Chain A
Amino acid sequence: MSNAIAVAGVGMHPWGKWGRPFVEYGVHAARAALTDSGIRWSDVDLVVGGETVRNGYAGYVAGSTFASALGWNGARVATSYAACATGAQALDTARARILAGLSEVALVVGADTTPKGFLAPNAGERWTDPDWLRFRLLGMTNPAYFALYARRRMDLYGATSEDFAQVKVKNARHGLENPNARYRKEVAVADVLGSAIVSDPLHLLDICATSDGAAAVVLTSLDYARRHGIADPVRVEAVSTVTPTFPNAVIDMPLLATDHAAGGAPERTFKESIAHAAYEEAGIGPDDVDVAEVYDLSTALELDWIEDLGLCKRGEAEVLLRAGDTTVGGRIPVNPSGGLACFGEAVPAQALAQVCELAWQLRGQATGRQVEGARVGITANQGLFGHGSSVVLAR
């Protein structure tokens, strides 16, 4: 028995630094997704909003924020918070109600507006909050965590700064014609290597920016899609929102230490388990995947994700990269949207933006970046405090 639901419509607000209230971005994306679906707002019976608690927004963004801004229509409402994985959790909430027969048409929205510079914790003295302590005691920024993972690739697998730069070059090229991308400009290896080192070995252009943006998805039951003439829709085949399994032996932002792995490392790392759960739920494996959208907070992290998704063996992502396998036109294109390299991070919107891109890819509508003949796509993402996110889409 299939647990699939239909992606009836997708929409985004372009990423950038627009200086507008995030609700405007969210409503723009929601209306775009509704238009794309051909479903009227009045027919939506569930709204799920993604929220962020960073920078004091808690309580301002909720499902009802968007429902109100679209004009109250009496829909049920839910709100999800899972840091960078918020979109997947929101999607999963909508899917559960649809599969249970409690809802037929769900609108899932995530939107954010972000400050300049390093993401920093909220003000105040919080001696029991690891997200505060890591700055206070260690000066440990987000890029410093990304740099730890990048350095391991270099020391263990022989990755080079040029490899990392090539990820940026590839993604910059992918995003050139993406109308929702913030950065649409070719980047050369020399540009990356010539940019300032933020946290060794990562340069400024290895690290994603923070952006304003919004993404929305309209989901329906397969039956509703059939009855309303949505022919051959993209289907959600799996949503993985797994937490880590003890002991989590890889240090995760924003923590100061790993779990105690007395008996050695577990069978799968947290990031590997995120993808594993998605594959298992969809009943497919890495060989079935045609295209992937992964969370390239840094260039090097894209390489980690390629391995976490099982698209190659551990330590071999650079081989794929150098062979052009992960470029559009290659064997397994990664981040055809341009990824965070071209978008920057808009936290509660990001996992939904990945789904939007894969929907366009599977429908053959990704102009200028189309992965030819793509039938199955997977997203991968991870949120602070143990939030996994991976979505399998198929058509």
Chain B
Amino acid sequence: MTTSTPAVPGWFTTGDEPRLVASRCTSCGTLVFPPPPPEAASFCRNPVCDGETHEPAELSRVGRVWSYTDAQYQPPAPYVPTTDPFEPFAIAAVELPEGLVVLGQVAAGYGVADLAVGAEVELVVETLDADESGERTIWRWRPTR
């Protein structure tokens, strides 16, 4: 029996309809992803806001591709390769309706040929890597058609 835990705590929800979790300034509503650690002070990024408190805010699951690429060579550490030999994976920058562009790997089985600037993608959670302590999961973008 292996355990499956997010590679980073608090950045995304899991389940059938996972979502990224940003931090939202309680004064002006500015969203920040990735969210600062809960224990960290959060001075609002908006230069005209002096807010210092924030709350978790789930982002839209569906967005549009701002741009995309892939990694055809194995990235250096701390990237953890999962196959030997290395298998290329795609990456997308996705514009969410809230007004943020968020990077992510593209879901397993999809490559650059499945993507286009402006195409719709949705958030999924898949396995990033695994060792004897279990699997670590990560958010990814999956084309909706």
A-to-B contact residues, CB < 8 Å: 117-118, 120-121, 123, 125, 127-128, 132-141, 144, 147-152, 155-156, 196-202, 246-247, 249-251, 256-264
Q: How many residues of B sit at the interface, in one of the four size bands?
A: 35 or more
Partner of A200, one of B32, B70, B79, B116: B70
Q: Interface 1/0s, chain B 103-129, versus A by CB < 8 A?
A: 111000000100011100000000010
Distance A240 CA – B37 CA, assembled complex (angstroms)? 34
Beta-carbon contact of B72 and A197 below 8 Å: yes
Interface centre among A137, A246, A256 (most CB of B within 10 A): A137
Give the distance in Å from the alpha carbon of A139 to the alpha carbon of B116 in the complex: 21
- Do A199 and B34 touch across chains, with their CB atoms under 8 A apart? no
- Nearest Cβ in chain A — how far from B94, in angstroms? 10
In the bound complex, do residue A136 and residue B100 qualify as a contact, i.e. CB atoms below 8 Å apart? no
Interface residues of B (CB under 8 A from A): 7-8, 22, 29-34, 37, 40, 45-47, 66-73, 75-80, 89, 91, 93, 98-105, 112, 116-118, 128, 138
Please determine whether B105 and A256 come into contact, CB atoms closer than 8 angstroms.
no
Contact indicator A141/B77 (Cβ below 8 Å) = no
Q: Pick the contact of B32 from A127, A196, A202, A260 — CB < 8 Å? A: A260
Contact B67 A141 (CB under 8 A): no
B72 adjacent to A139 (CB under 8 Å): no
A200:B112 contact, CB within 8 angstroms = yes
Which residues in B have their C-beta under 8 angstroms from that of A156? 117
Contact among A152, A198, A263 with B66 in the assembled complex (CB-CB below 8 Å)? A152
- 14 A-B residue pairs with Cβ-Cβ distance under 8 Å, sorted by A, are A118-B76, A138-B104, A138-B105, A148-B68, A150-B69, A152-B66, A155-B67, A199-B69, A246-B45, A247-B46, A257-B101, A258-B101, A261-B99, A262-B99
Please indicate the chain B residues that have their CB under 8 angstroms from the CB of A139 in the complex: 71, 75, 79, 89, 91, 105
Shortest Cβ distance from A150 into chain B, in angstroms? 8
User: Which of B32, B99, B117 has the most chain A CB atoms inside 10 A of its CB?
Assistant: B99
